[in-house]
Amino acid sequence: MFAKGILVLLCASLLALATAGSNNRDEPRHSYRTGHEYSYDYNGQIASSMSNGEQYSASRFRALVKLYFVSDKTVTVQLEHPQMGQWNEYLDTPQELHKFDKFERVQIKGEHLEKLNLPFQIRFTNGKISDLKFASEDVTFSENVKRAIINTLQVQLENASESSEVAIVKDDQEVEVYGFRLNETTIEGDCESLYNVRKINLGSSESSVDAYNVTKSIDFSQCQYRPEFRYNYFRFAEPKEVSRGSVDEKTTQKMIHSNSALDISSVYDFVLNGDRRQFIVKQGKVLSRYTYEMLDGQRVRMDTYAIAQSTLKNVERKESSSDSMPSTKSAETLVYSDGLDVLRERFIAEGDDTYLKQNPYMKMNNAVSVVSTIMKRLLESSTKNTVEGMDEQSTRYLTQLVSILRLCSKNDIENIHQKLFENEEYDGIQK
**Shared-domain flag, residues 294 and 166:** yes
**Shared-domain flag, residues 92 and 135:** yes
- For residue 58, give the amino acid letter: A
**Shared-domain flag, residues 213 and 250:** yes
Looking at per-residue pLDDT, the higher value among 416 and 30 belongs to 416
Task: Give me the pLDDT at residue 134, please.
Answer: 96
Mean pLDDT of the chain: 79
Looking at per-residue pLDDT, the higher value among 422 and 239 belongs to 422
Domain extent, residue 385, equals: 364-422
Q: Which of 321, 350, 379 is the last residue of a domain?
A: 350
**Shared-domain flag, residues 412 and 293:** no
In whole angstroms, give the CA distance from residue 192 to residue 335: 14
Q: Is residue 193 part of a domain?
A: yes
Q: Taking the model in full, what pTM does it have?
A: 0.75
In whole angstroms, give the CA distance from residue 39 to residue 420: 54
In whole angstroms, give the CA distance from residue 192 to residue 288: 16
Task: Give me the pLDDT at residue 377, please.
Answer: 84
Residue 258 CB burial class (10 angstroms; 0-12, 13-18, ≥19)? exposed
Q: Is residue 5 part of a domain?
A: no
**Shared-domain flag, residues 290 and 388:** no
**Shared-domain flag, residues 250 and 196:** yes
pLDDT over 90 at 148, yes or no? yes
- Diameter of the chain measured on Cα atoms: 116
pLDDT digits (tens, 9 = 90+) for 114-134: 999 999 999 999 899 999 999
- For residue 43, give the amino acid letter: N
Q: Is residue 200 part of a domain?
A: yes
Task: Give me the pLDDT at residue 385, please.
Answer: 64
Q: Is residue 316 part of a domain?
A: yes
Q: Is residue 3 part of a domain?
A: no
Q: How many domains does the chain have?
A: 2
Looking at per-residue pLDDT, the higher value among 203 and 242 belongs to 203
**Shared-domain flag, residues 152 and 185:** yes
Task: Give me the pLDDT at residue 359, please.
Answer: 66
Q: Is residue 9 part of a domain?
A: no
Q: Which of 291, 326, 350 is the last residue of a domain?
A: 350
**Shared-domain flag, residues 149 and 276:** yes
pLDDT digits (tens, 9 = 90+) for 278-332: 899 999 999 999 988 766 556 667 889 999 999 999 999 988 765 677 788 899 9
Q: Is residue 232 part of a domain?
A: yes
**Shared-domain flag, residues 318 and 399:** no
**Shared-domain flag, residues 184 and 316:** yes
In whole angstroms, give the CA distance from residue 273 to residue 200: 10
Q: Which of 323, 350, 377 is the last residue of a domain?
A: 350
**Shared-domain flag, residues 213 and 318:** yes
Listed in order, strand segments (DSSP E) in 141-293 are: 169-170, 176-186, 189-200, 210-225, 262-274, 279-293
CATH at residue 63: 2.30.230.10
Burial 135-162 (b: 16+ CB within 10 A, else e): beebbbbbbbbbbbbbbbbbbbbbbeee
**Shared-domain flag, residues 32 and 136:** yes
